[in-house]
């Protein structure tokens, strides 16, 4: 990330910010989509995050941290989008999945459907940790730092996310997975 | 498939597929919104501003204008002056940098569009010029390391802002936006007064108090200005 661009944008240069946006928007959208599993919600989260990033940019002290900083804003935008749609997602979960189709055998497709259902049952906080760790490949310590949470919390969220997916694959009874406890 | 390693693989292969490019429309929409969105102030860089507008903002401006014109055509008609005899051709006022538009008792949609366009051109010229000058001052603010140096930068900003506000006050806005324009000028004067308070506090070495004043009052004032700018797709005016 070009430090000079970040500094210029921080001083109010919209042209510099536009360049930055084009550099980061693809990965931000990819992350938002994978957290929310819905293209419309991911677009909204991306837009809100970019506008909020512009608004708050003067408060960014270390230009070298821009990328992590804007990811953090995005994840919080995903939290907001998730809250906004919580009322109808419960219904949607029962509908056929519209996730990306990939060539696969029938067993793999069944596994994938199970995984998708299990994934959507995870909390958005758990999904965020899962995506940052498994999609972006960030170590858990960096995930925790990016999200502003203790490392133990990040580890716990990932643990429960993986446990939820494992249960889906083994066909075991599916407890309602919540952070820090099983309800 | 459920041992840890295979689960890890399954997790990765599950999360990998999906879009990797952001939809252009979503990015463009965000950038349009940024054009009318003001940055939060930070006393390290006391006053935030815009750079030159981009073509995407102009497209949004055209859409907003169309909405304003269509929706406002009837509302703009002065009450008590029915258009007896049906619509008559009104002289088309070509967009001009001059904000002075001859008053028309029955503005047609074309008149209203031209008046708003002329107003936007005139206002944007003032605001963009001030914004460009402010980028330099913001850089000076970044370089300032003591409250006194910050105060000096703010004093220069106040001079620039006073000139800008006087220019805004001299505009002759169309009837459709006259009230909001007047309120916007008041907000600018309030912002300048606020900056004056902040400058005084900084000269007294009270950086924390200056920051508190900025945070407590600045956001409310800025958001009012910003709402006006977004409503009519006007350039951000520091």
pLDDT tens-digit readout, B8-53: 787 888 889 999 999 999 999 999 999 888 888 765 544 443 333 4
Q: Would the CB atoms of A162 and B31 count as touching at under 8 Å?
A: no
Q: Which residue did the predictor score with more confidence, A66 or B140? A: A66
pTM for this structure?
0.64
Q: Would the CB atoms of A43 and B26 count as touching at under 8 Å?
A: yes
Q: Per-residue pLDDT tens for A4-13?
A: 999 999 988 9
Say what the ipTM of the complex is: 0.80
The pLDDT value given to residue B27: 96
Instruction: Give the C-alpha separation, B10 to B17, whole Å.
Output: 12
Q: Would the CB atoms of B22 and A28 count as touching at under 8 Å?
A: yes
The neighbouring-strand residues paired with A178 are A181
Per CB-CB distance under 8 Å, the chain A contacts of B31 are 18, 21, 50
Return the exposure string of A65-76: e unless at least 16 CB atoms fall within 10 Å of the residue's CB, then b: ebbebbbbbbbb
Q: Per-residue pLDDT tens for A88-137?
A: 444 344 333 444 444 445 566 667 777 888 888 899 999 999 999 999 99
Q: Which of residues 41-100 of B touch A (CB under 8 A)?
A: 41-42, 44-45, 48-52, 54
Tally of CB atoms within 10 A around B132: 15
Q: Which residue did the predictor score with more confidence, B75 or B220? A: B220
A72 close contact with B: CB closer than 8 A: no
* DSSP tag of A100: P
B30 close contact with A: CB closer than 8 A: yes
């Amino acid at each position: 990330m070009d430090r000079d661009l970040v500094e210029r944008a921080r001083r109010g240069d919209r042209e510099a910010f536009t360049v930055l946006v084009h550099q980061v928007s693809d990965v931000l959208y990819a992350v938002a989509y994978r957290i929310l599993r819905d293209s419309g919600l991911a677009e909204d989260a991306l837009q809100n995050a970019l506008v909020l990033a512009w608004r708050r940019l003067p408060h960014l002290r270390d230009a070298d941290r821009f990328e992590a900083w804007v990811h953090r804003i995005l994840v919080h935008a995903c939290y907001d989008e998730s809250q906004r749609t919580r009322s109808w997602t419960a219904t949607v979960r029962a509908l056929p999945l519209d996730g990306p189709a990939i060539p696969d055998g029938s067993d793999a497709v069944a596994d994938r459907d199970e995984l998708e259902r299990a994934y959507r049952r995870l909390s958005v906080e758990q999904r965020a940790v899962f995506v940052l760790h498994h999609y972006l490949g960030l170590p858990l310590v960096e995930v925790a730092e990016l999200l502003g949470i203790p490392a133990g919390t990040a580890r716990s969220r990932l643990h429960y996310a993986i446990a939820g997916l494992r249960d889906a694959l083994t066909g075991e009874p599916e407890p309602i997975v919540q952070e820090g406890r099983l309800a | 498939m459920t041992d840890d390693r295979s689960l890890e693989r399954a997790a990765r292969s599950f999360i990998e597929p999906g879009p990797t490019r952001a939809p252009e429309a979503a990015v463009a929409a965000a950038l349009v919104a940024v054009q009318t969105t003001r940055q939060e102030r930070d006393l390290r860089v006391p006053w935030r501003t815009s750079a030159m507008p981009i073509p995407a903002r102009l497209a949004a401006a055209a859409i907003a204008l169309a909405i304003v014109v269509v929706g406002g055509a009837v509302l703009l008609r002065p009450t008590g002056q029915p258009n007896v005899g049906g619509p008559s051709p009104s002289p088309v006022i070509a967009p001009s940098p001059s904000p002075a538009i001859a008053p028309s008792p029955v503005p047609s949609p074309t008149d209203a569009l031209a008046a708003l366009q002329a107003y936007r051109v005139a206002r944007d010229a003032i605001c963009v010029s001030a914004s460009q000058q402010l980028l330099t001052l913001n850089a000076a603010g970044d370089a300032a390391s003591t409250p006194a140096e910050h105060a000096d930068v703010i004093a220069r900003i106040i001079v620039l802002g006073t000139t800008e506000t006087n220019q805004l006050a001299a505009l002759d806005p169309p009837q459709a936006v006259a009230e909001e324009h007047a309120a916007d000028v008041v907000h600018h004067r309030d912002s300048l007064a606020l900056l004056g308070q902040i400058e005084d506090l900084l000269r007294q070495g009270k950086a924390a108090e200056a920051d508190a004043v900025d945070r407590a009052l600045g956001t409310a004032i800025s958001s009012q200005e910003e709402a006006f700018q977004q409503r009519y797709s006007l350039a951000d005016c520091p």
